[in-house]
Structure 1
Amino acid sequence: MTMTPLKSDFLEKMRQQFDNAPYPRIPLEEFPKNPRALYIHSLVTAYYRRNQKVVTPAGKLILDAGCGTGYKSLELAIANPGAKIVGIDLSPASVDLARKRLQYHNIENVEFHAIALEDLPSLGMQFDYINNDEVLYLLPDPIAGLKAMKEVLKPDGILRTNFHSSLQRIIYHRAQKFFKQLGFMARPEPEAEVKLVREIVKCLKNDVFVKQYGWNSNFETSDEAVLANYLLDGDKGWTILELFEAIESVGLELISMVNWREWDLLSLFNDIGELPFNVMMGFSDQSIAQQLHLYELLNPRHRLLDVWCGLPGQSQQYELISEWSDEAWQTAIVHLPLHLITDEFRAALKSCATEAKIFEMNRFCPLTDESIVIDSQGTGCLLPLLEKSRSVRELVQWWQKLRPIDLVTLEPTSEAEALVRVKELLQPLEESGYVMIESRV
């Protein structure tokens, strides 16, 4: 497909920016090996967050909206076996690199187009999943981009999109204004400008705010980091409330924050039991958007406001597993995310089970800041999931074989006692995202 005529001088300038400095600058031969990134790029994860159901990616149509040089298109292909990947980007140079990257890795069920995000409907496709990562904050009209993606989203499809946090990015937004006023970002010489940025920062006193809080050793060696932070023309930020307003204005609704575990307002306090009662009641009276905004006001640590959203009416009501009856538990099916089951993960799980050692789940896929550890009994119970998904009833029976007697009473381990132990194992793993549990009731 030929490139769609650009709609404004700004878009033309942005195209030239990424033609001159394609992003990301990851070598074509590098292969995705980050389980956390694959977990996030799997549409299975997003569908489970919405409906507590596990779907298969085979046959799905996935859009990488703003594919750049195709590294995330490659991650999408690896994370969703059997799906077709379509990538679009404003920059023809980036699209050319994306094609070469996927060809290098022998990914065949993929196609790329050099078009603007607003021109998505011209493709004549409807997508099951859209990955729109690190794009919206560069658009002159982010709402137009959201509308275009909504138009090509299937009724039950899911859109992942994100925006820079205005609270977390304030240092870099000010630095961008500083360099732009000096005439940077106006010439097609990114490497020369990166060198000048480093020279200027080096000459600053150490206690200058931008240098003290906005500069680190990574900027000394990574041209890409400097370009993406200090020389990113068109960069903008929103608050959570502004993001929610934008999503709702185009007729979409929130499914979940992508890193939902890291947006818990109450987790910011040492002991919520010591909070005044009226404060706790005030928290509970807030909407989801308001609670998230309270979090970012106190702790603006996240560069991206990263969300999954979809069309209204597609989210099914379901009970949290903490509220399930024993009947619901016993008929439920337990899945390990496929991207967690690496060779290293298999070997370590088996080793900890047989050698009675603690198993550190975060070591293999850091989905949460909290340490997730499992004792040898728990790792033994998870072993059957390496082969295939299992019902909780099967895991209960497996537990009874692992621990046939109660070590205190020396009585046989009952099915009821084994169910309690299996629930204690699985519930925190599900809440952190390390297992997916489907109810069959």
Structure 2
Amino acid sequence: MKTARQIAVEALGKVNGSKGYSNIVIDKALEQSGLDLRDAAFATALFYGVLERMLTLDHCIAGFSKTPVEKLTPQVREILRVSLYQILYMDSVPDSAAVNEAVNLTRVFRKESAGGFVNGVLRAFLRSGKRVPRMAGSRADQLSIQYSCPAWLVQLWLDSYGEENTEGILKTSLGRPPVYIRVNTLKTTADALSVQLEEEGAVVRRDEMEENCLRVSGTGDVTALPAFQEGLFHVQDKSSQLCVKALDARPGMRVLDICAAPGGKSFTAAQWMHGEGELLAMDLYRARAALVAEGAQRLGIGCIAAKEGDASRYNSKLGLFDRVLCDAPCSGLGIIRRKPEIKYKNPEELGEIPQLQYNILSNSANYVKKGGILLYSTCTLNPGENEGVVERFLAEHRDFAPCRLSQSLGSSGHTVTLFPHQGDTDGFFISTMERVRHDDKD
């Protein structure tokens, strides 16, 4: 049977080699591994830990290896990363065990000739006192190595949000994120659900900003709990819950969630509507729309209709809505602690995203009735995808005007950026706009 370290090395190779999604890769690997819970947890910690700290680890390797990191074979590179991570960040693993297991892994992966090299690099690092080599260069370069985040992204945040916020973002990008759930107010209350979850072994904490938002810990997969199977909650980060609160969906309204899958925002909006009215949850792919329908059925929400549809193309048959939620596709720079591989994307890949977002937002506007609200949101921290898209939209759509957000969101205007280090949420952007005239359809 494969060891936890071997599984971590193989999974890292798949993510870094084929650019697979981290959660999908490691979940599949563990499902096929036969590891017990303890070893599976160790493999998971290694896997995500290395992804989070990869630039720092590569900087250490470069300081003690005559061969450039990029010229090492993929297996040897991952073995060194996994081993250095244990030495630097896992106090429970003796240094000697990390080194010995690294050499063993070179045999497992049939890289016996690299055993001496791996041993030498790791022991040289230990002799240095386990100190990360000093990084020269700009402030962005230094923070890049300290927090294992590409310098271009660090510089983007420095320019956009200042050094204090940037360091806060970087600090919270490391480590596992909290688990938040949304109380299904159509079936239960926050008090009753808290009691049930505690009886099921969870530690529950009520959120101060949103009464039906609970933070859950001390348990494994929360979707395996009986309360989940009973449809008493769905898993949703606090940022998304606050986003839907800003939508201000009310009973009896027609609401459109134009990029709905996997459905969390639709579910929360339906609860704000007390299950009364009509909520159309749309997604480009039929299978993903089906996921929304399944979730609504589990939660006992009858006002949601899930439909396949292209968010960038207008469909006059849908009619007009009181509220339209446009949670647009984005770079995901606000959820790095959930998917660490996101930060290693080529920045050139991000260049076309704002135009796609603008197109979807502009099409979403077609469905808003006069006096209705259009909400634009992303889970990214990039002004070009956030304020830039909204500013362009308002400049080119004079039939819309900024709509002030609730001050409870920490904003006195029509936009707000939620920072992970300030509210322990995902990084998130929200903007609301009101349709002030609708000449074509009034």
Greater relative contact order, per chain length (Cα 8 Å cut-off, separation 6+): 1
Question: Taking structure 2 as the reference length, what is the TM-score of the superposition?
Answer: 0.35
Question: Taking structure 1 as the reference length, what is the TM-score of the superposition?
Answer: 0.35
